Amino acid sequence: MGRARGPRLGAGRRAPLWTRLCIGVGAFLLLLSGGALAGGRVLLDRYEGAVRRADLLPHGTARDVGDSVRGPMNLLLVGSDLRQGLENEVWRSDTIMIVHVNERLDRAYVVSIPRDLQVRIPRCIEAPDGCVDKINAAFAFGGIGPPFDPVRGYQLLAETVRDLTGLRFDAAGIVDFTGFTRLVGALGGVRLCVDVETTSIHSGMTWEPGCQDFNEHAALDYIRQRQYPDGDVTRQRHQQQFIKAVLQQALARGVLADPGRLDRVIRAAGQSLTIASPYPTTTLFLALRGIRPENITLLQLPATSDWIDGIAYAEPVERTEPMFAALREDSLDAFVLDNPDVVNQ
């Protein structure tokens, strides 16, 4: 792989975009899971218009599908901060996740792609024929304005992920800041099991190992932290743990039996999402109603760290392509059995 790179972008107002994504992905999976669907089709129909739709998958990145939802499926989820007033800033997609759903549509794997993964990006700011850079730069290069266009940013990122993985996607989603804290608040907080002592560089709060309840502000603070020996790896694991905990919380705290709380949760989730899918939103959600929290497996893409010209990158390793092949072939069950260390608990 060549070393031609896109220009380094200024830091600007670097918000913790991956923090927003974690909660948004939790919202997305909450809507997909049978938990939210237990509220009934009428409730889903009510929120059909609440989820924004956009043409996120350009030609060659979407899989040809029929009239009905069939597995296996791959969904690309990307996070960014699209708050009003920030449109002229340069943003990167600091967290990228592929959600793989098996052929029976009853099990999901969530694969985190390291934001620092070195890849070839098809088009760059000063290199129209492409460059090599961190994968999260693709979102910024594609959407650069002014004003910044998150849809164009997503489209270039989708092309980059397609070229990297060989996948074409059945659906896609952007998650933004809107409604995230309201979502966690509507759930009454979230219970997380801290696996390593963590001290916030923002609030100074320290969390000791063990399971404990977090309100929306503490949860955001906790999953933002990346001051660990392995840096981003632990942060990504905490993000995935958060996603699963949101789903478990919705089922455990009686949200589904409380129309008022369920209304607030789904409304907050819908407001935080922009999706692309060949199916109506409710049709997609209903088809995936068999996915329960216990049937969601969290995976980390195998990669290694490297320093190039003083900049930290993640590099693919020997097992990276076999994982991509397992995604393409719906054989992640076998891959995980042979590579149990890729599972995030």
The predicted structure's pLDDT at residue 340: 96
d(CA 69, CA 22): 25
CA angle 174, 177, 182 (to 5 degrees): 120
The predicted structure's pLDDT at residue 18: 44
Q: Where are the domains of the chain?
A: 17-186+254-344
Buried b / exposed e along 121-136 (16+ C-beta atoms within 10 A): bbbbeebeebbbbbbb
The predicted structure's pLDDT at residue 342: 94
The predicted structure's pLDDT at residue 131: 96
The predicted structure's pLDDT at residue 113: 92
CB 54 within 8 Å of CB 82: no
Residue 322 CA, chain-centre distance (Å), reads 21
d(CA 6, CA 139): 12
Task: Give domain 17-186+254-344's CATH architecture.
Answer: 2-Layer Sandwich (3.30)
For 275, the enclosing helix (H) or strand (E) is: strand 273-276
d(CA 313, CA 39): 44
d(CA 233, CA 183): 25
The predicted structure's pLDDT at residue 311: 83
Which residues are within 8 A (CB) of 130 and not within 5 positions of it... i.e. 6 or more apart? 120, 121, 122, 123, 124
The predicted structure's pLDDT at residue 284: 79
The predicted structure's pLDDT at residue 28: 57
d(CA 130, CA 150): 19
Which residues are within 8 A (CB) of 309 and not within 5 positions of it... i.e. 6 or more apart? none
Which residues are within 8 A (CB) of 4 and not within 5 positions of it... i.e. 6 or more apart? 127, 131, 132
The predicted structure's pLDDT at residue 72: 95
- The 3-state DSSP class for residue 294 equals helix
pLDDT tens across the length of the chain (345 residues): 444 555 544 444 443 444 444 555 555 555 555 544 444 555 556 556 667 788 999 989 998 887 788 899 999 988 765 544 444 455 555 678 899 999 999 999 999 898 889 999 999 988 999 999 999 899 989 988 888 888 899 999 999 999 999 999 999 988 764 455 667 777 888 899 999 999 999 899 999 999 999 998 888 888 878 888 876 788 878 877 887 887 777 777 666 667 677 677 767 666 677 888 888 777 777 788 788 878 889 899 999 988 888 888 899 999 999 999 999 999 999 999 999 999 987
